[in-house]
Chains A and B, each alone.
Chain A
Amino acid sequence: MIKAENLSKRANGDYILRDINFSLSSGSVLGIIGESGSGKTSLLMCLTALQNFDSGEISVKEMTVKSGSVNNKDEYIWSYRRQIGVVFQHLYLFPHLTVLQNIIEAPVHVLYQSREEAAEKAMELLGKVGLSHKLNDYPDNLSGGEQQRVAICRALAMSPEVLLLDEPTSALDPRFSSDVRSLLQEFVSQGHTIIIVSHSLNFLRGFASHLIYMEKGELIEFNTAEEFLTSPLDERTRRFLNHFLQVL
């Protein structure tokens, strides 16, 4: 379960997020769609408690973070952060570590798992996305699609409640997308939640159970994917969809 209540964030006096409200039950896949500059990435940075916000609150399961309380010295924030795994658009693998080291870094140093235990789980994840043979490669020697799968494995190795993917389509290697999809679906079927931020409806269609449309920092529509695509409530969503279909 992940929830945002009256979430607002300002920068230089202007709202970059304004009064965002949504609540998503476990086992869902939420797609957040909108033009660039609509506030998608800001929302992601707030939901992960990596950035502070000016009003409202966010919750994952029983944990709630109120506005202004994001602080590196607060243990509670660290517990909250561990519940959300993030895969950024440009992935940001650790370039000085191998694929395996990238994945076991946090389990070993944050969860204090033994190297063997962490490596075993990492191998299992890598096997599911067909990267068992790249174990000891460095990120720079991987293709964009391979790097993305490593980044997803790195996030999942921490067993988060929620997985956040920022613009995953840009790096995705289509030949292996089915691998990634089944890994993500398995994650959802275990009762977890996925949020995918994207400007492309194609990737979200058929994968997301819920969709949010954002415009200028505001949440225009939050709906089930089916209703969102067939009978959107807001005029602006309709306009966006029409525009998108024309482009298609």
Chain B
Amino acid sequence: MFADPSNPQVYIGFDVEVAEAIARKLGMEAELVPTDWTSIVESLKRKEFRVIINGFEPTSDRARQIIFSKPYYIFQLQLTVRKDQKGIDSLSDCIAQRKVVGTLANCAASRLLESSGAVYIEYPDPVAAYVDLEYGRIDAVLMDVPMEMFYARKNPAFRNVGPLFQPGTYVAGLRTEDTELQHRINTAIDTLLADGTIERIMRKWELWDSAQSALLTGTGDFQITGRTFNWGEALIKLLKAALVTILIAFGSMIIAMVLGVPLAFGQTYGSAPLRWLCTVYIEFFRGTPVLVQLLFLYFGLPVVGIVLPGWLTALIGLGLNYAAYESQIYRTAFQAVPQRQWDVSYSLGMKPFLTFRRIIFPQAFRIALPPMTNDFVALFKDTSTAYVIAVWELATAYREMANATGQFLLLGIIVSAFYLMMSLPLAHYARKLEKKFNPSKGNGKEALRLD
């Protein structure tokens, strides 16, 4: 299912047409509910819609949560690389050369990559995977043919390598209690296969191939794949994700703290154009969602030739974003130091820079420390926005692992514990730091006095 390029509000595609054909057979009308791919099973269970028809494969972990119709299409996997890329002719080449393969999260291809020990990145949508392939952030993309067909085949920068392989099926997904509807949909699919409706739809989309004959004969043995899950592996994955989270949080906080200084000064003391520039920067980063900023950096910068990996984009993007906030904390903190502190220092012969360094900054720092700590904790949580650019950090890990296994509760508790294990020491350390820089308050419990 894709947005119609000439009218993005309308969804088109073979899934849409199959769904409409089935609905007609049932004497119903299909209503399309666009939804997030990675949590599509959860959305079905939460009754946001009644049927999933969207290149949806039956898997063993999904089978534990919902039921499936008969297959209406047989897909295979296609490996795609950049045209100029030499030395990759199959998935085994990728595995042997430790090449990074991109794919859609929680699909047959991702499970194949996982079980075969490949280095791979899961994307929330297929477009991002092919964009990253084009920009050289990854080396190959493994995807179901229908998606490869729509998103990559016409792109002259790519070439497909190796034969199609690993056949699987697309089915409709239903809630476990909807057995009657399941039966009616199966009957409808039989009819649509027999009268050639499905073949006509697939041919229109250039998706009909010899493999589909198995649908008509009802033969064909399709392996139902499933994600293997064991807690030891899950913990290791979460631990890795936590390290990425820590790296992004610390890296971006350092950028924010450093960049906040010239922003605060430019905005307060700069010449008119500089003041204007700083204000534009600050208002831009405070006034637009960080999610949009990350997408912009990730997909926009390569247009001008700057291609950064996802984690670095997240680190820089969050750093640029939080710099705007830090600059405002600095500004208020400096304004909270009485002007007379400057006067006293000047009268002692201390010049502006010396006064700033020795007298004003330490006082402003004491004032800025508590809100900066707050920001750092907030930043820790905002690292989860890196999900949109396929960075495997803690929130992404949770979302994808939980979606694949249905273990939302247990994994949720573990992931929360991970976040707390990071943020609690941080808060503790910040309190110690506040005490250190505010030595006159013996127990550190009293409020900061500004004057």
Give the B-binding residues of A (Cβ under 8 A). Answer: 45, 48, 50, 72, 78, 81-82, 84-86, 88, 90, 92, 94-96, 105-106, 109-111, 138-141, 154-155, 158
Contacts and interface: CB of A to CB of B under 8 A. Distances in A.
A38 B180 CA distance: 94
Nearest to A98: B439
A140 B440 contact: yes
Given A81-B346, A96-B437, A72 B340 contact: no
B53 to A, nearest CB: 66
Contacts of B359: 94, 105
Given A85-B348, A96-B439, 18 more contacts: A48-B347, A50-B343, A50-B346, A72-B352, A78-B349, A82-B348, A85-B347, A88-B344, A90-B451, A92-B340, A94-B341, A94-B363, A105-B350, A110-B349, A111-B349, A138-B440, A139-B440, A158-B348
B358 A109 contact: yes
B426 interface: no
Contact of A106 (B350, B352, B437): B350
A158 B350 CA distance: 11
A72 B351 contact: yes
A86 B350 CA distance: 13
B440 to A, nearest CB: 3
Contacts of B435: none
B348 A110 contact: yes
A111 B348 CA distance: 10
B349 A86 contact: no
Interface centre among A109, A155, A158 (most CB of B within 10 A): A109
Contacts of B347: 48, 50, 81, 84-86, 155
Nearest first, the 9 A-B pairs at minimum CB distance are: A138-B440, A106-B348, A140-B440, A82-B349, A110-B349, A86-B347, A96-B362, A92-B344, A92-B340
B363 A95 contact: yes
Nearest to A141: B440
B440 A154 contact: no
Contacts of A78: 349, 351
B220 interface: no
B344 A86 contact: yes
Nearest to B439: A138
A141 B345 CA distance: 21
A90 B340 contact: yes
9 contacts: A72-B352, A86-B344, A92-B340, A92-B344, A95-B440, A96-B437, A105-B358, A140-B440, A155-B347
Contacts of A86: 343-344, 347
